[in-house]
C-alpha cells in the first residue's frame, strides 16, 4: 500500500502576484489542467491554485511563514482528484525542485521538522534569483 505523499517547497518567483506565480510554476512543469480555489485554510489571500497531474496534484499558495523570504508555497500531494492530465510529476522532491529552478525560480526545500517552532531554518536551495 502506497503512503500518501505531502511535500512542501518554498518558492521565490520574480512574479509578484499569486496567480502569475502559480501559472509560471504550472507552465514550467507542463501542467495545463488547473483551477483557482477559495479556502480560509490558505491565508492571507484565502485562495490557492491547484494543478492536476496523472500521479499527483500541485497546490500553489501564499506563504504565511515569515521565517523565509520565499512568498509562495508549492505543495505536492499524491492524491489525484482530476484524471484529465496525462502529465506525470516527479515524486522525488530534488528532481521537481531542479525542474522548477531551471525555469528561473528559486526553490527552498526545508528540512524535516520545518513546521515546528524550534526548526533551525535548514534545507536545500535550488536555483538563484536573477538580478
User: For residue 1, is it within any domain?
Assistant: no
Q: Kindly report, residue by residue over 39-87, the tens digit of the pLDDT.
A: 998 888 899 999 999 888 999 999 877 767 788 989 998 876 666 778 8
What pTM was estimated for this model as a whole? 0.84
User: For residue 20, is it within any domain?
Assistant: yes
Q: Is the dihedral of CA 71, 76, 82, 85 positive or negative?
A: positive
Residue in 68, 49, 52, 50 with CA at minimum distance from that of residue 11: 68
User: For residue 131, is it within any domain?
Assistant: no
Number of domains in the chain: 1
Range of the domain at 26: 6-126
User: For residue 94, is it within any domain?
Assistant: yes
User: For residue 86, is it within any domain?
Assistant: yes
CATH number of 21's domain: 3.30.310
User: For residue 121, is it within any domain?
Assistant: yes
Amino acid at each position: 500500500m502506497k503512503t500518501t505523499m505531502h511535500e512542501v517547497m518554498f518558492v521565490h518567483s520574480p512574479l509578484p502576484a499569486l496567480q502569475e506565480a502559480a501559472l509560471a510554476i504550472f507552465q514550467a512543469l507542463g501542467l495545463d489542467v488547473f483551477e483557482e480555489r477559495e479556502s480560509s485554510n490558505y491565508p492571507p489571500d484565502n485562495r490557492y491554485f491547484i494543478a492536476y497531474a496523472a500521479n499527483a496534484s500541485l497546490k500553489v499558495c501564499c506563504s504565511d511563514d515569515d521565517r523565509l523570504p520565499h512568498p509562495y508555497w508549492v505543495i505536492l500531494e499524491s492524491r489525484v482528484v482530476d484524471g484529465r492530465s496525462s502529465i506525470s510529476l516527479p515524486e522525488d522532491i530534488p528532481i521537481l525542485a531542479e525542474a522548477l529552478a531551471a525555469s528561473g525560480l528559486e526553490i527552498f526545500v526545508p528540512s524535516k521538522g520545518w513546521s515546528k517552532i524550534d526548526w533551525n531554518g535548514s534545507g536545500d536551495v535550488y536555483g538563484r534569483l536573477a538580478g
